[in-house]
A and B are shown apart, each in its own frame.
Chain A
């Protein structure tokens, strides 16, 4: 199993450009998450999903959009890139049993994104 796979690993964008960060998992996990990690800060939750077709906002959703059309994939979209979105982005997944995810989260390697 590959676990959680994120692409690309690095990207530089110009202000105002758009892009999609890809995340896929092969563990049949129903919960998936997107975090951003700024220097010297902890991970902050952007969006999460408890299953295909269901998404919800996390702590810092502004400037991002997500979709969850399949169990495996949870792409994160930046529509109008801004310098404040320069960060490292982590995708994670976990297996839920019984409605509350009490299983550990499995993380991808991260995507380092710079907006110039």
Chain B
């Protein structure tokens, strides 16, 4: 079965602290994974994807096939990082399977 699991509904950290938003997936085959973000009162938008191996707004995510994980990390959280974060897996036909989402709250 194809599935994406984000075990934390809410993650609260202080400004400057490291952040790791967890994402685990289930997929038979070579997965293609994404992180989407939704800031308050804004539309859902792509943050990064694993094939690009990029760092966006200080965030990185490494695909670990052995652990079937794609955790999102940032070494020093900022208040403007507060948002809902969704991990997504591309299934056959281009469809995305989303995790339940993790709300990140960065306190001053």
Contact = CB atoms under 8 A, between A and B. Distances in A.
A111 B98 CA distance: 18
Contact of B32 (A4, A35, A41, A102): A102
B95 A109 contact: no
B99 A104 contact: no
Contact of A42 (B32, B49, B93, B98): B98
Interface stretch (A17-25, A64-72, A79-87, A93-101): A93-101
How many chain B residues sit at the interface, stated as a range, is 20 to 34
B46 A105 contact: yes
Given A40-B100, A41-B100, A42-B99, A107 B94 contact: no
Interface in B52-91: 86, 90
B32 to A, nearest CB: 7
Contacts of B32: 102
B93 A108 contact: no
B43 A110 contact: yes
Contact of A102 (B46, B94, B99): B94
B17 interface: no
Main secondary structure of the interface of A (DSSP, over half): strand
Nearest to B96: A105
B16 to A, nearest CB: 29
B98 A43 contact: yes
A61 interface: no
B107 interface: no
A104 B9 contact: no
B95 A42 contact: no
Contacts of B11: none
A32 to B, nearest CB: 11
Given A43-B98, A100-B94, 9 more contacts: A45-B97, A48-B93, A50-B93, A56-B93, A94-B94, A102-B32, A107-B43, A107-B44, A107-B45
Interface of B: 4, 6, 9, 32, 34, 43-46, 49, 86, 90, 93-101
20 contacts: A31-B94, A33-B96, A42-B98, A42-B99, A42-B101, A45-B96, A50-B94, A92-B44, A94-B94, A96-B94, A100-B93, A100-B94, A101-B93, A102-B90, A102-B94, A106-B45, A107-B43, A107-B44, A107-B45, A108-B43
